[in-house]
Every structure is written in structure tokens, then in C-alpha cells.
């Protein structure tokens, strides 16, 4: 089925590209957008036809989200113009973009945490009854239907703040779908969800495309581009590189255009000697969330926690790091039992956690890059105890900006102005500076471009060589298979299977990750 859909898509778009008679639904002509110290977009043109999926690719900071924000009325171009159906339009604010039929899922989640899922999905377009009264029952019914279309059986009365990132992302997508827009823009919709959920989304994208919706998709997963894309436009450093049909373009070609060079090895796994046990957890339990979690990680080793979203992987990390209280179990660091009640104690024990939600848990967005990096371990900047002179901060920050290739005009730039992927790198730098011996990475490469991913893996190798142990939580199976020495599969709060690097396969992991609930469903049916 996928094949036929893809063929249709591929068949439809070259027609659009080749016949100049067809006007694009949306067009950017020679637009530029500058921020203090940064040219985010430099003379970029872009067009989008009805019934096509136009993929936008490029490294972190290439200007993809900026382009999206021009189209959704958040920024106005400094130069150039935006045309709809061939006529110039001005998108003064997000409301104007919506009245023009442009609906956007932004890269950074934009939900109201205290409101429930249903209200968020319909925010700004509530179904009304006579007399200016909101039709709540229609709203919740509609929200439930939208979620089911995405194959999410979530009660729309749930408060958004209680949901994990993946369900929040799905809520955000449902919200964009409700608009039934002519132009649907998806800025990295798949970064926080599993392949299965992504597939669900893509089937809807296929459907919308067949109905004539014009779609822009941004993704660092090139598989996504191949799966649904008709054409791809590549941006590099804010400049337009090329627009190519997806049919007949390989990932290698795309990467070369994005990065400007060939990428030799995607998962640079090294042979690093494995040493003594660095972290040992035994019987970790938090009732209703995780049950009887036991495993060891040795120095020089990467242990991955795989599983579906909601399987309790992040909860294990949070428990070890002292964020959530434990109902039972022990934690041993280098053979010594430690009591960890707060993140501070975890850091003292040599544990570092890179949280999955960088905006909420990883960064102080208003502070400069340098301050964010120095925050967790000011002592490691070389500054005298209790002091943190700007020079020490900046020097340290510069070191990481260079080694992680963080794209920022200066270490003094506020983190909020960095592109999504570069924010993630700042979180990485912050925790690397702690010189911890045990690193827990929760979705370390979420939102990071292909080139930078390799950098992150190299950095992991470097940490391992320096005698660290790594626990990696990842929903990206290729990454798990490519980098982990051992893989624990979690399901419903328990570890249900273990594989080593050699014996693991995508199919085996998935079948363990999903099995149980399958049976339950069948029993229920």
C-alpha cells in the first residue's frame, strides 16, 4: 500500500514542477531574514504546490524553522515577498496566516500545559453554539476523533502537563489537522515520536496530499523524507542550495548537499575496553511507574534502554537521578551504595542526566550559552571555588562551542535564540562539563542533524575512552543498534528482554517492546 501511495505522490509532483502553467499555492521569492549577528535566511526562494509534500532539509541552524515562521506569520521577511496563488500576501501575525489557510506544527511544542488535550486541539477554533457558547460536547467528540485518526486512544480530558513529549507532539499534530488547512507545515513532527507513530502520521499526510493539501515537512530523519516527500529543498547556512525530486535522490546525495561533504560513517562505534561496574541498580521500583528494574553498566560501555514511548524508560532515568522518589531498590556507584534524593546528590555521586525535554528541563532559555554550559559544574571552568568570573565561563563555553560545533554568533547569545538542534548541543556541553563518570542520555540526538549526530556519537566515544559509563535512552532503533553494547528492552515499566550488540535486531527489539499489550488487546477484543 505504501508503495502505491508513494508512486502516486512521485507521479503527481513532477507534473507540478515541470508545467509552469500551474501556480504554486505558496511561494517565497528571494526572502532574507536577519537577526542580530545572524543571517538566518539569505535570498531564499521556495515554492509549494497543491497535493505535494515538499521536504525541507538542512543542518541545525540552516534556517528551516525561520522559513516556517515567515510562513506562519511569526516573523516578517526583511526582504523578498510571500505569494499565495500568485498574489503577494502579508502575514502580519499568526492569525493572518490561519485565515489564509496555513496551519503549522512548530518545532518547539506550543501547548497550554494547564488546559486539557481537547481544549488545546481546538484552541482558536472552538465549535460554537448559538449565543456565543462553546459547544463542549462537540469539542471533545471532535478531539477524540482527531486523536483516533492518529491512532491515539487518549482521553481528551487529560491535562497536557501530565503527558509525555510524544503524546504532546501527537496532540499538537491533531491540533494542526483540525484546521483542515490548505497548507500544512510540519516542523520536525517526528523528532519526539516513535517510528510507529510517525507512520500513522504519514498515512494521514498521504491522505491529505491526495485531497490536495500542500504540505511542508521538516525532518532530520531522512527516511521520513523518502517515505512521504515528493520534492526536497536543501538549505545550508541560510542559503538556498537546490531543489530536487525525491525520486532518484539518495540519502547520500541529500547529506552531501546539506553538509557540503561526504559522510563516511553514520555510527562510529569504537572498540573500547570494558572495565569494572560503574553503576548498578537493583530492584528499582516506583509503584505504577517502574517495577523491579535491575541492571549494571560498566565503564567503557553503552547500555541502551529501548522500548515504546510510555514504557517507563525516562522514569528509570528520573529515579536514578533523584528527581522522582523511589518506593524501593538500591543504587550502587562503583560498588558503593549511594542514597540519592535530589539531583544535586546524583551529580555529587558522579551521575549526569541529559533530560528529554530540553526546553523545560535542560536549559534556562533566557540565559546566555556560556551560563547554561557552566551551570551544573561551575567548578570545572577552572574558576576559584565559589566564584565564576565571566572569563572562565566564556573560555569554557568557547571550547565546547568549537568541539560540538554549536552554531551561535557568540557564547553570550541567549539560548532562546539558538536553533533547536543547537540548543540540544548546549545541554550536551553542560553535562559533559560536569566530568561525571556515569552519563544518562535521554534521547541525546533528538532534533540534531545527521552531521551533528555523528559528532555526538564521537563525543560519547570520547567519554567512554575517558572511563565513563553511558546509559542511553533512545527511540531511534538504528542509533540503539549502531551504538549500544547492550540493549535492555522495557515494556510497561519492566525490563522484558536483553540483547547484546551482536544479537540484536530491529524486529526482535520491537516484538519485545510491543508484545504484551498486543495480547491484552486481543484478549479484550
Ligand X SMILES: Nc1ncnc2c1ncn2[C@@H]1O[C@H](COP(=O)(O)OP(=O)(O)OP(=O)(O)O)[C@@H](O)[C@H]1O
**Binding residues for another protein (CB under 8 A):** 72, 74, 93-95, 97-99, 104, 106, 110-115, 119, 123-126, 128, 132-134, 148, 151-155, 158-159, 162-164, 166-167, 175, 194, 196-197, 200, 288-289, 308-312, 491-492, 514, 517-518, 520-521
Q: Which of 488, 367, 346 is nearest to 431 (CA)?
A: 346
Closest to another protein by CB, 159 vs 239, is 159
Q: Are 469 and 438 in contact (CB under 8 A)?
A: yes
Q: Which three cell numbers stand for residue 457?
A: 556519537
Closest to another protein by CB, 453 vs 512, is 512
Among residues 107, 190, 396, 408, the one that binds Mg ion under rule CB under 5 A: 107
Closest to ligand X by CB, 40 vs 317, is 40
322 touches ligand X (CB under 6 A): no
Window 438 to 477, contacts with ligand X (CB under 6 A): 449
Among residues 9, 16, 51, 63, the one that binds ligand X under rule CB under 6 A: 63
420 touches ligand X (CB under 6 A): yes
Closest to another protein by CB, 271 vs 519, is 519
Annotate 363-415 with three-state secondary structure: CCCCCEHHHHHHCCCHHHHCCCCCCCCHHHHHHHHHHHHHHCCCCCCCCCCEH
Residues 83-112, one symbol each (x = binds ligand X by CB under 6 A, - = not), give: ------------------------x-----
| Residue 505: φ, ψ to 5° | -135, 160
65 touches ligand X (CB under 6 A): yes
189 touches ligand X (CB under 6 A): no
Q: Which three cell numbers stand for residue 79?
A: 526582504
Closest to ligand X by CB, 322 vs 368, is 368
Chain-centroid distance, C-alpha 8: 29
Sign of CA dihedral 411, 415, 417, 418: positive
Q: Environment class of residue 125 by beta-carbon count within 10 Å: exposed (0-12), middle (13-18) or buried (19+)?
A: middle
Residues 64-93, one symbol each (x = binds Mg ion by CB under 5 A, - = not), give: xx----------------------------
Shortest Cβ 53–Mg ion spacing (Å) = 18
35 touches ligand X (CB under 6 A): yes
DSSP 310-374: TSSHHHHHHHHTTSSPPSEEEEEETTEEE---SHHHHHHTTEEEE-S-IIIII--TTSBHHHHHH
Shortest Cβ 245–ligand X spacing (Å) = 22
Orientation of helix 390-403 relative to helix 420-432, angle to 10°: 120
Q: Are 351 and 435 in contact (CB under 8 A)?
A: no
Which range in 163-171, 344-352, 415-423, 507-515 contacts ligand X by CB under 6 A? 415-423
| Angstrom distance (rounded) from CA 435 to CA 422 | 21
Among residues 58, 118, 156, 444, the one that binds ligand X under rule CB under 6 A: 58
Window 410 to 429, contacts with Mg ion (CB under 5 A): 420
Which of the listed partners (Mg ion, ligand X, another protein, none) does 38 bind, with a CB threshold of 5 to 8 Å by partner kind? ligand X
Which of the listed partners (Mg ion, another protein, ligand X, none) does 337 bind, with a CB threshold of 5 to 8 Å by partner kind? none
| Angstrom distance (rounded) from CA 47 to CA 38 | 24
Residues 6+ apart with CB under 8 A from 250: none
219 touches Mg ion (CB under 5 A): no
Closest to another protein by CB, 85 vs 93, is 93
Residue with cell 457558547: 133
| Angstrom distance (rounded) from CA 490 to CA 306 | 6
Residues 6+ apart with CB under 8 A from 110: 172
Shortest Cβ 71–ligand X spacing (Å) = 12
Shortest Cβ 95–another protein spacing (Å) = 5
Q: Which three cell numbers stand for residue 423?
A: 540548543
368 touches ligand X (CB under 6 A): no
Which range in 63-71, 108-116, 138-146, 161-169 contacts ligand X by CB under 6 A? 63-71
Interface with Mg ion by CB under 5 A: which residues?
A: 64-65, 107, 420
Residue ranges in contact with ligand X by CB under 6 A: 35, 38, 40, 58, 60-66, 107, 407, 417-422, 449
Amino acid at each position: 500500500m505504501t508503495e502505491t501511495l508513494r508512486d502516486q505522490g512521485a507521479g503527481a509532483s513532477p507534473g507540478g514542477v515541470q508545467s509552469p502553467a500551474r501556480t504554486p499555492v505558496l511561494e517565497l521569492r528571494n526572502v532574507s531574514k536577519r537577526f542580530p549577528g545572524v543571517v538566518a535566511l539569505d535570498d531564499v526562494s521556495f515554492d509549494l504546490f497543491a497535493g505535494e509534500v515538499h521536504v525541507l532539509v538542512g543542518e541545525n541552524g540552516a534556517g528551516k524553522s525561520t522559513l516556517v515562521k515567515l510562513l506562519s506569520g511569526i516573523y516578517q521577511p526583511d526582504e523578498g515577498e510571500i505569494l499565495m496563488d500568485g498574489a503577494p500576501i502579508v502575514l502580519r501575525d499568526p492569525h493572518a496566516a490561519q485565515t489564509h489557510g496555513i496551519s503549522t506544527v512548530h518545532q518547539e511544542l506550543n501547548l497550554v500545559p494547564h488546559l486539557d488535550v481537547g481544549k488545546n486541539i481546538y484552541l482558536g477554533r472552538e465549535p460554537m453554539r448559538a449565543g456565543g457558547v462553546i459547544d463542549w460536547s462537540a469539542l471533545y467528540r471532535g478531539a477524540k476523533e482527531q486523536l483516533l485518526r492518529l491512532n491515539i486512544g487518549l482521553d481528551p480530558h487529560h491535562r497536557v502537563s501530565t503527558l509525555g513529549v510524544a503524546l504532546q507532539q501527537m496532540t499538537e499534530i491533531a491540533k494542526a489537522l483540525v484546521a483542515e488547512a490548505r497548507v500544512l507545515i510540519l516542523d520536525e513532527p517526528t523528532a519526539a515520536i516513535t517510528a510507529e507513530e510517525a507512520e500513522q502520521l504519514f498515512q494521514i499526510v498521504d491522505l491529505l496530499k491526495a485531497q490536495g493539501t500542500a504540505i511542508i515537512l521538516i525532518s532530520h530523519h531522512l527516511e521520513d523524507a523518502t517515505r512521504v516527500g515528493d520534492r526536497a529543498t536543501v538549505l545550508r547556512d541560510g542559503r538556498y542550495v537546490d531543489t530536487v525530486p525525491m525520486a532518484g535522490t539518495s540519502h547520500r546525495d541529500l547529506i552531501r548537499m546539506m553538509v557540503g561533504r561526504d559522510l563516511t560513517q553514520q555510527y562510529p562505534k569504537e572498540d573500547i575496553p570494558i572495565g569494572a561496574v560503574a553503576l548498578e541498580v537493583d530492584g528499582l521500583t516506583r509503584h505504577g511507574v517502574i517495577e523491579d528494574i535491575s541492571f549494571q553498566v560498566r565503564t567503557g560501555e553503552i547500555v541502551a534502554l529501548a522500548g515504546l514511548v510510555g514504557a517507563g524508560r525516562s522514569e528509570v532515568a528520573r529515579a536514578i537521578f533523584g528527581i522522582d522518589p523511589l518506593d524501593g531498590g538500591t543504587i550502587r556507584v562503583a560498588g558503593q551504595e549511594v542514597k540519592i534524593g535530589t539531583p544535586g546528590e546524583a551529580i555529587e555521586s558522579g551521575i549526569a542526566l541529559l533530560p528529554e525535554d530540553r526546553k523545560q528541563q535542560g536549559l534556562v532559555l533566557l540565559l546566555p550559552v556560556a551560563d547554561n554550559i557552566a551551570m551544573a559544574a561551575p567548578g570545572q571552568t577552572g574558576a576559584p571555588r565559589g566564584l565564576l568570573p565571566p572569563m572562565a565561563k566564556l573560555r569554557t563555553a568557547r571550547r565546547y562551542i568549537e568541539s560540538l560545533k554549536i552554531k551561535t554568533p557568540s557564547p553570550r547569545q541567549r539560548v532562546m535564540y539558538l536553533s533547536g538542534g543547537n540548543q540540544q548541543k548546549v545541554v550536551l556541553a553542560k553535562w559533559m562539563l560536569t566530568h561525571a563518570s556515569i552519563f544518562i542520555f535521554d534521547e541525546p540526538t533528538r532534533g540534531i542533524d545527521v552531521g551533528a549526530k555523528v559528532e555526538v556519537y564521537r563525543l560519547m566515544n570520547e567519554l567512554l575512552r575517558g572511563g565513563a559509563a553511558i546509559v542511553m535512552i533512545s527511540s531511534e532503533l538504528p542509533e540503539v543498534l549502531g551504538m549500544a553494547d547492550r540493549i535492555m528492552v522495557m515494556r510497561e515499566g519492566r525490563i522484558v528482554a536483553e540483547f547484546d550488540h551482536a544479537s540484536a535486531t530491529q524486529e526482535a527489539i520491537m516484538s519485545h517492546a510491543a508484545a504484551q499489550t498486543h495480547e491484552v488487546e486481543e484478549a479484550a477484543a
